[in-house]
A and B are shown apart, each in its own frame.
Chain A
Amino acid sequence: MRPHSSLKQEFLKEWIKGLQRCSFPKKSILERKKAIKLSADIAMASARNGTTCWSRALISSAAKDGSDNNHLVKQILGPESDRPAVENKAPARQASVCKKILKRSCRIRRRGRRKCGAAAAPSSIAKHLVKKRRQILRSLIPGGEFMNEICLIEETLDYITSLRVQVDVMRSLATASVRGTE
């Protein structure tokens, strides 16, 4: 594993800031958990400073108007510069949404066609499998629907490292808290 202590540090810093900013509801544990996760996600995404697609997509989806976490997100983001990035995403997202719709329609058309003609060739079957998995991956990565293949793999790389950092930091924090309570 390559050393990403700087990333960890950055992530933790942002996370703590975000946590401090939110007014966590003291009532339900689920809400607390949501707030924690949200602040962690946003911290992770902002640690990338908008260089990666998934981070931008994550922040913009979280800050979407009308979402449940909107107020929380706004609080967490606070005076950070993520807001302009979030706003700028709007037109881009419209274009991607159109692309998405187009892709979906193409996929449906292709699916119909495929059913008609049995694809017995192994290569086509393999391609079909790979395509399926790629779709799944797209759904996993935030903003993955708008990426082409090459970007998708790059974003996956980045996303995996960020997730790793997030998990490490959270785990250490959790163990520390557990130990503290003992």
Chain B
Amino acid sequence: MENQFFLNAGIPVHAPPSQFGSFLSSSPMSDWQSLSSAMEIQSQDCFPTTDYGLQYESALSSMVSSPTASNCNISGDSLMIRELIGKLGSIGNSGEIPRHSQPMLAASSCYSTPLNSPPELNLPLPLPKPMGLNSSVADFSADPGFAERAAKFSCFGSRSLNGRTTQFGPKDNGEIAAYRSNPLTPNAKLPRVSSSPAIKAMASQVGGTNKNTPLQDRSQLVNFQEESTVSEQNPGSRKRKAVPKAKPKETSPSPSPNASKVTEAMETSNEKRCKLSESNGNENGSGKAEKDAKGSNTKAPEPPKDYIHVRARRGQATDSHSLAERVRREKISERMKLLQNLVPGCNKVTGKALMLDEIINYVQSLQRQVEFLSMKLASVNTRLDFNVESLMSKDQIFQSSNPSLQPIFPINSSASAFLGHQPQQNPPLHGNIANGTMSPCSVDPLDTAICPKLSTHLPQINQFIETLPQYPEFCEGDLESLVQMGFGQNQSQEMPLHSQNFHGSNQVSDMKVEL
């Protein structure tokens, strides 16, 4: 029986992931619809009798126990979830559902059937954790509430499902039936299961009464992806649209207590699976709908509760080590992508080793450049002594006058201060500057001239560069002398030299200033 369940559910560990990939890649809507129709028929045919329900309950209870045992055992949870889904799927999946290999589909198909069965399992209304079950599992209606909840939650990244309490009020069986009509639509829509907010929304909606018709459900599913990213929905609001339609079945009738437990367990494990599967999906691109949730999870996986929720990819090992390893690898690859954008020439390179090579070369070259430039600066002759007090005083003066050039303010102030220092030697020329009453035009050239040197990507600077070609040299010298001042060079010797240098440029700057 168990084996059958697993087979039917199509959750074999060695199931080729390509199936999912192909499945998802193909027109999901049409597939889902066909599936849903098939499931409809099947649901009627293989309507889960009480036997099924009992089986389901037993399976669920067995599942429930496992998660509690393995507290933070991600692998155990995911494994449990898989079993659960498998069992659920097998329960209702008497018929042949196309894409049987896809556990989600199978589960969903199975789930649809139990919908008809009386809600023996009352899923707990408050779902503390975001359910990772894919919406495909929404049809999971072995226990209407349970199946729906599990399905809905599974597909959604368990990211921030914290605090998301799904308020599952008394669910109407009718609602479940409505969902049943769209057994697979959720799956189709699951592509991008969003972060927990989406799941939360779903959870809340699950609890809410779903009065949408099947058609509405479908449309909702279509919007699922968009909705999935909707932040937490009002738990109290029982509106479907908030909740990804993918889980229309969430609003199943009140689940039994057992189902609630199982759902929770499933949800947590699904969350984990969702998370992991998301990350894994990115890598393998398997067709599992659960992978949709991964996308959001990989961005910023937030452990809902002390542990990271990951979902094992289909065909992958499900032990905690490999799951954690997968998450870690996802993180690393994310950051490597960022590095790729930063390091020039890394875009064409593929593979970790080559990229690391490029990065190492780049870092080494930058460090060597720093060494070389510092040597160059050290070799430059020091010039005028720098007057720190004058520099500081000028800072405030020029600060207000150049709000637009704020980024280079220190430089401006230092340059201005230096220029202010200049007037001491050439009062008539730099009187304006020293007073700090320079008109904006005179101040701007000064600043802009310095700006190009230090922040060439400031657009405003470029405007002035052309107009004041000679000015920059003047300012550069100022700036440099500012720096060299720190060198503690002999001021007296350098002063005359420097003043001579500035004499020539003073005239130029003077002309510019008067502009």
Contact = CB atoms under 8 A, between A and B. Distances in A.
Given A36-B374, A136-B360, A16 B342 contact: no
B477 A173 contact: no
A19 B353 contact: no
B489 A140 contact: no
B451 to A, nearest CB: 9
B353 A133 contact: yes
Contact of B381 (A34, A160, A176, A181): A181
A129 B357 CA distance: 10
A25 B483 CA distance: 15
B338 A170 contact: no
Interface stretch (A5-13, A60-68, A77-85, A113-121): A5-13
Contacts of A16: 410, 414, 482-483, 486
B453 A176 contact: yes
Nearest to A35: B378
B455 A180 contact: no
7 contacts: A36-B374, A36-B378, A130-B353, A170-B377, A174-B380, A176-B472, A180-B480
Given A6-B407, A19-B486, A140-B364, A161 B373 contact: no
A159 interface: yes
Given A150-B328, A167-B373, A177-B380, A130 B352 contact: yes
B377 A36 contact: yes
B369 interface: yes
A22 B486 contact: yes
Nearest to A1: B457
Contact of B370 (A26, A37, A156, A181): A37
Nearest to B355: A133
Contacts of A129: 353
Contacts of B336: 153
B357 A133 contact: yes
Nearest to B457: A3
Contact of A180 (B375, B477, B488): B477
B14 interface: no
A147 interface: no
B388 A149 contact: no
A55 interface: no
A163 interface: yes
The prevalent SS among residues of A at the interface is helix
Interface in B248-288: none
B371 interface: yes
Interface string A152-182: 0110110111011011111111111111110
A153 B339 contact: yes
Interface string B319-343: 0000000001001100110110011
Nearest to B329: A149
Interface of B: 328, 331-332, 335-336, 338-339, 342-343, 351-353, 356-357, 359-360, 362-364, 366-367, 369-371, 373-381, 383, 386, 388, 407-411, 414, 453-458, 472-473, 475-477, 479-490, 501
A174 B373 contact: yes
- 6 closest A-B pairs (Cβ-Cβ)? A176-B476, A180-B477, A19-B486, A177-B480, A32-B378, A33-B378
A33 B486 contact: no
Contacts of B353: 126, 129-130, 133
A23 interface: yes
A173 B480 contact: yes
Interface residues of A, number: 62
B453 A178 contact: no
Nearest to B383: A180
Interface in A23-71: 23-24, 26, 29-30, 32-37, 40-41
B488 A12 contact: no
A23 B486 CA distance: 7
B408 A9 contact: yes
Contact of B335 (A24, A140, A153): A153
B337 to A, nearest CB: 10
B90 to A, nearest CB: 36
B331 to A, nearest CB: 5
A179 B473 contact: yes
Given A3-B457, A36-B377, A176-B480, A150 B366 contact: no
Greatest chain A CB density within 10 A among B339, B351, B376 is at B376
A140 B367 contact: yes
Interface string A127-155: 00110011011001100000001100110
Contact of A9 (B359, B366, B375, B410): B410
Contacts of A173: 373, 377, 453-454, 479-480, 483
Contacts of B480: 173, 176-177, 180
A20 interface: yes
Contacts of A20: 386, 388, 485-486
B407 A5 contact: yes
A170 B378 CA distance: 11
B356 A5 contact: no
